[in-house]
């Protein structure tokens, strides 16, 4: 079993405390659903997920805060910045491009970036992943996924 480093990386404590706030926000939003009369009610799972996220983030934030001051270095590694930008692009194009096209583009670009090339493997992985998600949500759970207006 390995122990955590005595010195925390730059930005770790700030990120962990931001996750505490995000978890609390998720729990607060879920509590507004208002249906908690049975264990399978609509608001139970989102509220449980928000509470679990808050507690886990709180434990991580407290542990990070106790460690020594951060060492010098990049607060936002390049890979994290690129994937963050791709996520923002995905969010911005989802309504217009639809689930399938936006998800394929996001996964293809993210996998290609993280693998430093290998575009054919990235394309196949993205297609299989989006296909599986589409089958599960559209055919099994009968969830209407955004179709987008670009190809409509």
Residue 86: partners with Cβ closer than 8 Å, 6 or more residues away: 106, 109, 110, 113
Residue 137 has pLDDT above 80, yes or no: yes
What is the structure's pLDDT at 90?
96
What is the distance between the alpha carbons of residues 62 and 65, in angstroms, rounded to a whole number? 5
Asked if pLDDT for residue 129 goes beyond 90, the answer is: yes
Adjacent-strand bridge partners of 7: 68
Confidence at residue 4, expressed as pLDDT on a 0 to 100 scale: 53
| CA terminus-to-terminus distance, the chain | 54
pLDDT band at 12 (very low <50, low <70, confident <90, very high): confident
Average confidence (pLDDT) over 58-79: 85
CB atoms within 10 A of CB 49: 14
Mind listing the pLDDT tens digit for each residue in 17-31?
Answer: 999 999 999 999 988
């Amino acid at each position: 079993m390995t122990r955590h480093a005595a010195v925390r990386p730059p930005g770790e404590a700030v990120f962990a405390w931001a996750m505490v706030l995000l978890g609390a926000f998720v729990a607060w939003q879920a509590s507004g659903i208002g249906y908690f009369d049975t264990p399978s009610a609509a608001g139970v799972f989102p509220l449980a997920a928000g509470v679990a996220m808050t507690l886990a983030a709180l434990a991580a934030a407290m542990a990070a805060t106790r460690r020594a001051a951060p060492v010098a270095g990049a607060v936002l590694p390049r890979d994290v910045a690129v994937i963050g930008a791709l996520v923002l692009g995905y969010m911005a194009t989802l309504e217009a491009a639809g689930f399938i096209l936006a998800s394929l583009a996001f996964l293809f670009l993210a996998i290609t970036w993280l693998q430093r090339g290998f575009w054919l493997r990235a394309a196949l992985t993205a297609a299989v992943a989006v296909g599986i998600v589409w089958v599960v949500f559209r055919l099994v759970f009968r969830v209407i996924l955004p179709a987008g207006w670009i190809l409509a």
